[in-house]
Every structure is written in structure tokens, then in C-alpha cells.
Amino acid sequence: MGRYRAPQKPGSPYITRQGIETLRAELNHLWQVKRPEVTARVSAAAAEGDRSENAEYIYSKKQLREIDRRVRFLRKRLEVLQVVDTVPTDIRRIYFGAWVTLEDDTGASVTYRIVGPDEFDLSQGYISLDAPMAKAMMHKQAGDEVVVKKPQGERYYEVLSVRY
């Protein structure tokens, strides 16, 4: 088995106002705070002499590469992202940015917010617009049934409420 990996399909370019501000803050923190700290550690470790056996130097250089990689990614991604901060004309239907409360066939309810792939966080109930669950919910409204295809089989949900 080779090392080849097919290129990942880029996620949807949509993001909420809060999401883009979070990404900008991360970029600013990495560039203005974190990178100068790590650069100073690299310089101090390099001044100690033999770099081949200097763990602090090796670790700091690796950390610097990771920071630079993330900074490059964020700069490129921020160029293509489109902020969606308007409420749709039909607020009864599910679109980007909606908070949706669902009930499964066991009677358990769950609430999700549909956001861009750069800001999804299940601990907060944010799911990506590109996720199968979000795709199944799009354009539905309260009272509609949502069918989500999962590896274990199909799951059925009922839309209880939609809010923006």
C-alpha cells in the first residue's frame, strides 16, 4: 500500500460572522503571539551549540513548522470564505445558520446549528453544512421527517423547531 492520498475536496466556502472572527483571531494569535515566542525559543536553543542532539531546538523547529502550516492554511482559507449573516426570507425552512431541534424515533431530542465546515463543533451542537445530517435537513420545516443514511442504516428524525 502506497502513501498516495487523493486530494481532499474543499469544504463549502460559507461561514458565520462569529466563525470568521474566530478564525481571524486564531490567525492573529498565531502570527503576533505564538510564532514570536517559538522563534525566540529556537534562537535560544540554537545558541546552545550542537543542534543535532538539542531536543529543545528540534521540538521548537517542529512547532514552528506547524504554526507556519496553519498560518498558510488560514490565510488561504480566509480569502475564499463567504460570510453569511442574513436571515433567509422563509424562516420556517432550514438553511445555513439555522438552529434545528430534532426528535428521533426513541423520543430523544437534540438541537443542532448548521454552520460552515471550518467552525463545526459537536460539543456546542454545531454541525457542518457538508455533513450528511445537515444535507438531509436542508429545506425541511417543522413537522417534516428527516431521513439520515448512516453506515448502521437509516435513522429517522422529526423536525420539532427551526430558529435563526
CATH number of the domain where residue 59 is located? 1.10.287.180
Main-chain dihedrals φ then ψ at residue 109, nearest 5 degrees: -110, 150
31 C-beta neighbours (distance < 10 Å), count: 16
Q: What is the pLDDT along the chain (164 residues), one digit of tens a residue?
A: 578 877 777 789 999 999 999 999 999 999 999 999 999 999 998 888 777 788 889 999 999 999 999 999 999 999 999 999 999 999 999 999 999 999 998 999 999 999 999 999 999 999 999 999 999 999 999 999 999 988 888 999 999 999 99
Q: How far apart are CA 162 and CA 102, in angstroms?
A: 9
- Structural domain count, the chain: 2
- DSSP codes joined into one string, 67-123: HHHHHHHHHHHHHH-EE--SPPS-TTB--TT-EEEEEETTS-EEEEEEE-TTS-BGG
What's the first-to-final CA gap in the chain, in angstroms?
47
Q: What is the pTM of this model?
A: 0.82
Q: What is the pLDDT of residue 11?
A: 80
One domain for residues 103 and 77 = no
Let me know if residue 89 belongs to a domain. Answer: no
Both 67 and 126 in a single domain? no
Nearest residue to 164 via CA among 93, 108, 105, 104: 93
Check residue 152 and give its pLDDT.
Answer: 87
Range of 65's domain? Answer: 14-83
C-alpha cell at 3: 502513501
> What are the φ/ψ torsions at residue 114 (nearest 5 degrees)?
-90, 115
**Domain of residue 152, CATH code:** 3.10.50.30
Radius of gyration of the chain (CA): 22
Shared domain check, 115 and 58: no
Q: Which helix (H) or strand (E) holds 157?
A: strand 153-163
